[in-house]
Amino acid sequence: MRVILDAMGGDNAPAEILKGAAWAVKELAVEVTAVGDEQKILAAAKAENIDLSGIEVVHASEIIEMCDDPTKAIRHKKDSSMVVGLRLLAEGKGDAFVSAGSTGALLSGATLITKRMKGVKRAAIATVIPGRDQAYLLLDSGANVECPAEMLDCFATMGSVYAEKVLGRPSPKVALVNNGAEESKGTPIYVAAHAMMKENKSIHFIGNIEPREVPTGAADVVVCDGFTGNVILKLTEGLAKFFTGELKKMMFKNLGTKLAALTLKSGVREFKAKLDADEYGGAPLLGISKVVIKAHGSSNAKAIKNAIRQAKTCCENGMIEAIEKNMHNAQEKAAESET
């Protein structure tokens, strides 16, 4: 299996990207195509003593910066590492694409170059977030600020497939974020979405879920528009930093708390691991016709390695094919109901 990697995307490129790639080649038995400025890639590998065995370097002279307008950058920076990488993916020269670069540019590029699946109007960013009992999949977490009911129903179908194929959740529970559990709650769009998801035979829909219940892991898949999802995502990230910071201050306050911290060391380590975003690697762009993974902009080697692992799992478990099949079945049923 070959994963195409944007070697110039992210805050820590290219060194940490290459370290993660080398780690993945060794641990995951994948081949990697690293796309970017060849001179800078080779210089970073030499400086950091990174073994490039199993990593093919494809030269790209340009870089899409975080400050660039996403669509303009995709159209005008045709020799950027992201555009060249996506083009290689579209041409079948790799099985998946991973980038820690601009989210907006990656979404635009994947849509324009790799294309969406038939029947999908907009791709969604699906983010795995730690929960009390288990992690849950949140989508959309930022790609689409406003979503009609049909789009939310589509997100539910795609998210359910991902949870089953990649997270290993049989018959995953799907919920719709709302300000109450009753079917009549929320805006007209959310009421309509609830009705559609209730009739969707492709998912195990458990109804509305209030925001306070989301972190418990009561649902495997949590569906909402991109504005709401991005607020949930960033609030969760902020609270995680707040709690871990307060916990650290509490445990190192004095000698007594330091001694207590020693007895809680293993538990604290498990708690920190549960909140570690690097363990999940990145967020897939669901609805794109090929596997595309968006890694965090500040990704280190561990995060990149796990993003590649995630891409490999998506390919091996037939995630794209399963989503396409479910979307096709949904379209057929919709056509039958109209006749």
| The CATH classification of domain 1-120+287-316, taken from the options 1.10.10.10, 3.40.50.10790, 3.40.718.10, 3.40.1360.10 | 3.40.718.10
- Phi, then psi, of 145 in degrees rounded to 5: -65, -45
Q: Which of 155-169, 187-201, 241-255 has the lowest mean pLDDT?
A: 241-255
Mean of pLDDT over the chain: 89
Count of all residues that appear for the chain in the document:
339
Q: What confidence tens digit (pLDDT) does each residue in 302-321 have? A: 999 999 999 999 999 999 99
**Does the fold of domain 125-279 match that of domain 1-120+287-316?**
yes
CATH 3.40.718.10 corresponds to the domain 125-279: yes
* Average confidence (pLDDT) over 77-82: 96
Element holding 325 (H helix, E strand) = helix 319-338
Residues 109-135: b if buried by 16+ CB within 10 A, e if exposed: bbbebbebbebbebbbbbbbbbbeeeb
> Quick one: pLDDT at residue 236?
86
d(Cα 219, Cα 139) in Å, to the nearest integer?
12
* Average confidence (pLDDT) over 69-93: 95
* Sign of the CA dihedral with 206 first, then 210, 213, and 214 last: positive
d(Cα 260, Cα 305) in Å, to the nearest integer?
35
For residue 64, CA distances in Å to 10, 25, 110, 112, 144 come to: 10, 26, 14, 16, 21
Give the model's confidence band at 124: pLDDT under 50 very low, under 70 low, under 90 confident, else very high: very high
> Quick one: pLDDT at residue 276?
63
Choose among 199, 183, 203: nearest CA to 191.
183
Per DSSP, the residues of 131-200 read -SSS-EEEE-SSS-SS--HHHHHHHHHHHHHHHHHTS--SS-EEEEE-SSSSTT-S-HHHHHHHHHHHH-
Tell me the domain boundaries of the chain: 1-120+287-316, 125-279
SS3 207: strand
SS3 5: strand
Q: What confidence tens digit (pLDDT) does each residue in 30-43 have? A: 999 999 999 999 99
> Quick one: pLDDT at residue 278?
65
Choose among 62, 65, 103, 67: nearest CA to 83.
62
List the structure tokens of 336: 């039958």
Give the model's confidence band at 337: pLDDT under 50 very low, under 70 low, under 90 confident, else very high: low
List the structure tokens of 71: 């669509």
Confirm if 329 and 117 have CB atoms less than 8 A apart.
Answer: no
> Quick one: pLDDT at residue 257?
76
